[in-house]
Amino acid sequence: MVKPKKSPKIDLAEALRLMAADYRLNPTKAVRSQSFIKILHRHLADELESRLTPWAKKSRGVYIKEEAKLLGVAKDKSVDVAVIDPQNGPLLIIGARSQMSSVGKNVPGYFEGVIGDAMALQERFPMSTHGYVYLHPLTVIKATKTTEKLNHARYAAMYSSITGRSGPNYRAVRGVFDQFAYIVADFTVDPVKLRDDLVRSAVPDPDMSIETFVDRMVATFKSRVFTRNEFFR
């Protein structure tokens, strides 16, 4: 039996290019079908896969799962990307969301939902490393929404308040996530440009760049499970 060829790894630049093309083709379908954000999921999964050691994959059977169903406190929770050990459950859990329009109207509600979901998962898996990736456009490119104003500085301050968890204590809302990435992407240029400078000018610390996100997640895992650092390169 011939094994199917594995799709080539998607780096960040290619992920953003594909996302821009998908959204411009049909903005409503890209959002409703989740095809837009699933490209980012794939990129994150590829990055995590590249960091797993041969020992983790072959000896432990650790694998990357997109759209993983995890047992929460009261019901199953669907998480976007997870690194799973068959014997011990999720090692790293990552959520991801994008808002390409109607941002100001929906940010507060989504913000509360993100916190609630994280705390429910942490009550079940307090030793796991929990991260989140949030994407906003620099300017709204949906044809009917181009006059919408976005306050990236405000959003950066909000997201910075819920990152930097100092251990397996899941009950403090401030610092509910171990690591957070806030992407501000300029989809009006080709190639798509990250505007980390806007995030850093609003919140110099902590680091919320998508380019360092996976490294920060792995470093947090290693610092927490310090007796077994063979899982990740």
- Write the CATH number for 69: 3.40.91
Amino acid making up residue 149? K
Amino acid making up residue 78? S
Residue 2 has pLDDT above 50, yes or no: no
Q: Which of 50, 146, 157 is nearest to 101 (CA)?
A: 146
* Tens of pLDDT, residues 157-210: 999 999 988 766 555 556 789 999 999 999 999 999 999 999 999 999 999 999
Domain count, the chain: 1
pLDDT bucket at 1, cuts 50 / 70 / 90? very low
Q: Write a three-state SS string for 164-211.
A: CCCCCCCCCCCCCECEEEEEEEECCCCCCEECHHHHHHHCCCCCCCHH
Residue the block writes with tokens 């011990």: 88
Q: How far is CA 138 from the centre of its chain?
A: 18
Range of weakest confidence among 96-100, 120-124, 155-159, 168-172 = 168-172
Q: Is residue 4 part of a domain?
A: no
Q: Is residue 106 part of a domain?
A: yes
Calculate mean pLDDT across residues 204-222. 96
pLDDT at 4: 47
Q: How many CB atoms lie within 10 A of CB 13?
A: 12
Question: Cα angle at 111 between 166 and 155, to 5 degrees?
Answer: 85
* Tens of pLDDT, residues 10-49: 999 999 999 999 999 999 999 999 999 999 999 999 999 9
CA distance 177 to 179: 5
Q: Is residue 44 part of a domain?
A: yes
Angle of helix 12-25 relative to helix 35-51, nearest 10 degrees, comes to 170
Domain that holds residue 43: 12-224
CA distance 74 to 33: 27
Q: Is residue 212 part of a domain?
A: yes
* Tens of pLDDT, residues 33-42: 999 999 999 9
